[in-house]
Amino acid sequence: MNPLRKPFRWTYSNATLYLIGINVIIFIFQFAGNNIGFNLTAYLALNPVLLLKYHMYWQFVTYMFAHGGISHILFNMLALFIFGRTLERYIGSKEFILYYMLTGILAGVLSFFSYLLSGTYYVSLLGASGALFAIQLAYAAFFPDSVIYIWGILPLRAPVMMVLFTAIELFSGVFGINNGTAHFTHLFGFAFGWLYFLIRWGTNPFKMMFGRR
């Protein structure tokens, strides 16, 4: 058997809730630090200048757990709760954690190199959205008949939602809409999630979403 495709023994340990808890705790520390004049976000967010000058390589991981405000963490953690718990139960906690962390870290690494290539050095990347795009891709692939209600009123099948969100991110990234959002990091998370399906699971998520079942 290809060692890259060797499955984990299925276990379920509520990893999604632990991840949400870690994100919330870090956000509280960010908020508390700001109130006493300690900018914890500068140490956690992925910043090309700080990373290169001071070798803060941990930022490739910690950027995923830092957030820029209440609405930022609220929407990210809501998405993680909605899609993550179901996906974790389906693939198991170990596979879920590997998928979440790997896609998020690689999305950060590729974002870092894209900043270097474009000369965008003074930027701080933070948030779980790169990994969350990968989570939503996996959810849409494994549960293609699931219906998601956007804003609680607009019903969309999960694959349609995924394609729509990806198209919006691509359009926004190319045309510079809402520059405060890391559109390409979201797309990088989606791309690494796709590669995970091909390499780890040996299947094409597009066929799972839109192929005959």
Average pLDDT over residues 189-209: 96
Which pLDDT band holds residue 153 (cuts at 50, 70, 90)?
confident
d(CA 46, CA 170) in angstroms, rounded, equals 21
Say which amino acid occupies 146.
S
Residue 7 covered by a domain: no
In a domain, residue 191? The reply is yes
* pLDDT tier at 180, thresholds 50, 70, 90: low
pLDDT grade, residue 145 (50/70/90)? Answer: very high
- What is the band of 171 on the pLDDT scale with cuts at 50, 70, 90? confident
Does any domain span residue 28?
yes
Range of the domain at 81: 12-210
The label of the residue with tokens 């729509």 reads 164
Mean pLDDT of the chain: 93
Helix (H, G, I), strand (E, B) or coil at 41: helix
What span, in angstroms and rounded, lies between the C-alpha atoms of 198 and 188? Answer: 15
CATH number at residue 60: 1.20.1540.10
Q: How many residues does the chain have?
A: 213
- Residue 160 burial by CB count (10 A; 0-12/13-18/19+): exposed, middle or buried? middle
In a domain, 6, yes or no: no
Domain count, the chain: 1
Tokens encoding 183: 């559109």
The single residue listed with the structure tokens 């520059």 is 179
Going by pLDDT thresholds of 50, 70 and 90, the confidence category of residue 176 is low
Q: Do the domain assignments include residue 1? A: no
Q: Is residue 176 part of a domain?
A: yes
Answer yes or no: is 2 within a domain.
Answer: no
Is 174 inside any structural domain?
A: yes
pLDDT in tens, 29-81: 999 999 899 999 999 999 999 999 999 999 999 999 999 999 999 999 999 99
DSSP 8-class letter at 9: P
Q: Helix 158-175 and helix 129-142: axis angle, to 10°?
A: 150
Cα 64 from Cα 128, distance rounded (Å): 4
pLDDT at 167 over 80: yes
SS3 content of the chain, % helix, strand, coil (to 5): 70, 5, 25
Q: Residues 78-94: pLDDT tens digits?
A: 999 999 999 999 999 99
Residues 164 and 69: their CA atoms lie apart, in Å, by: 25
Tell me which H or E stretch contains 150.
Answer: strand 147-150
